[in-house]
Chains A and B, each alone.
Chain A
Amino acid sequence: MSRGFRLASEFAAAIIVGAGLGYLIDMFLPTRPWGLVVLLLLGFAAGVTNVVRATREMNEATAVPADTPALRDDEDE
């Protein structure tokens, strides 16, 4: 459960930050609504990047050691 929550929060946080930055840019520059649109999409991409990275970290943390003997496969007999 905590793993799922971690991935969800990584994803959501990037989108929140992207949307917030886009909103700020639109407030000070005459680019409305494009700053919000573009940065929201970039935030989505950053969220996916975050999730991929977090998953890789989790996989490395629980990786199977390389010298683990392989289980015998019944199909081979």
Chain B
Amino acid sequence: MADAAKPIEPIHQFQISDIFHIGTFGGDGTAGSGVSIAFTNSALFMALTVGAVGLFLIWGSARRAIVPGRMQLMVEMTYEFIANMVRSTSGQAGMRFFPLVAALFMFVLFANLLGMFPYFFTVTSQLIITVLLALIVFFTVIIYGFYKNGPKFLKIFAPSGIPWYAIWLVTPIEVISFLSRPVSHSLRLWGNMLAGHIVLKVFGGMVVAMLGAGAWGLASVLPLGMAVALTGLEFLVAALQAYVFAVLTCVYLNDALHPGH
């Protein structure tokens, strides 16, 4: 069997561990009281993600050649891709949110892809991170919607063309539908990343367990093949979920720009 001190646990990869302690806030000084703030592995990989995005963009745009090199071409294609996505879903007026959408897309994409390295921590598999990203979009929509449209923003809760006797039923439904956006927005990204990584770990664990079980070792090529295939699928999911997250951000921001469907 595998090392008895280290059982094969598919969930272990999501554990948050402190790298170094920063300080304790509040509490009465006894051990275990107050809020402990520490630089965790999650924080480390968020910093790495931001660093990787920054390095990619700065390195790619450093030469500023008229005929772009390979790195510059990748950066330019990334820009064009995000800009087209923003324009096609929320129109030219949506381009004022380009920095927000681009930052979210690049952060999620790089966090997902960094998570594909063995032994790396997947930032987007933590619910708190995806909820925070979704809430940023949610409050941006509310604040900018009221700032730009004033009370007319409330028209998103009462679609045009609804007869007066149906409005009392439609409005609560629309309110719940609006409130459910950050939930589905964050759950989707989190669920995909969490599930994918657990499945990968389970199949990986099967290979190890079967190799340790004598004659069954021959059959361990089957889960190994699954793990290889799923790795490919996970790369697709990583890119696709970043795209879906960014597209939905644009769709929601479109409501802030043009309320009332």
Give me the interface of A with B, judged by CB distance under 8 Å: 2, 5-6, 9-10, 12-14, 16-18, 21, 39, 42-43, 45-47, 49-50, 57
Q: Which residues of A contact B173 (CB under 8 A)?
A: 42, 45-46, 49
Once A5-B188, A6-B188, A49-B173 are accepted as A-B contacts, the answer to whether A14 and B180 lie under 8 Å apart by CB is yes
Contacting pair B184 A50 (CB below 8 A): yes
Question: Is B192 close to A, CB under 8 A?
Answer: yes
By CB atoms of chain A within 10 A, which of B184, B187, B188, B191 has the most? B184
User: Can you name 6 extra interface pairs (CB under 8 A) apart from A2-B240, A10-B184, A13-B181?
Assistant: A14-B177, A14-B184, A16-B180, A17-B179, A45-B173, A50-B180
Once A2-B237, A13-B184, A42-B172 are accepted as A-B contacts, the answer to whether A50 and B191 lie under 8 Å apart by CB is no
- Chain B binding surface, main DSSP class: helix
Closest Cβ–Cβ distance, residue A62 to chain B (whole Å)? 13
Nearest B residue (CB) for A43 = B176
Question: Is B167 close to A, CB under 8 A?
Answer: no
Nearest A residue (CB) for B248 = A6
Once A2-B240, A17-B183 are accepted as A-B contacts, the answer to whether A46 and B188 lie under 8 Å apart by CB is no
Once A9-B188, A42-B173, A46-B173 are accepted as A-B contacts, the answer to whether A17 and B180 lie under 8 Å apart by CB is yes
Question: Is B174 close to A, CB under 8 A?
Answer: yes
Contacting pair A42 B192 (CB below 8 A): no
B214-261 contacts to A, CB under 8 A, are 237, 240-241, 244, 251
Size band of the interface chain B makes with A: 10 to 19
Closest Cβ–Cβ distance, residue A60 to chain B (whole Å)? 10
Contacting pair B177 A46 (CB below 8 A): yes
Q: Which residues of B contact A10 (CB under 8 A)?
A: 180, 184
Q: Which residues of A contact B251 (CB under 8 A)?
A: 57
15 interchain pairs, CB-CB under 8 A: A2-B192, A2-B237, A2-B240, A5-B188, A5-B192, A9-B187, A12-B184, A18-B176, A21-B179, A43-B176, A45-B173, A46-B173, A47-B180, A49-B177, A50-B184
Q: How far is the CA of A6 from the CA of B237 in the complex (A)?
A: 13
Q: Which residues of B contact A17 (CB under 8 A)?
A: 176, 179-180, 183
Contacting pair A9 B184 (CB below 8 A): yes
B163-177 contacts to A, CB under 8 A, are 172-174, 176-177
Contacting pair A6 B180 (CB below 8 A): no
Closest Cβ–Cβ distance, residue B191 to chain A (whole Å)? 7
Contacting pair B174 A46 (CB below 8 A): yes
Contacting pair B187 A21 (CB below 8 A): no
Nearest A residue (CB) for B189 = A9
Contacting pair A2 B191 (CB below 8 A): no
Q: How far is the CA of A77 from the CA of B28 in the complex (A)?
A: 89
Once A17-B179, A17-B183 are accepted as A-B contacts, the answer to whether A9 and B172 lie under 8 Å apart by CB is no
Nearest B residue (CB) for A53 = B177
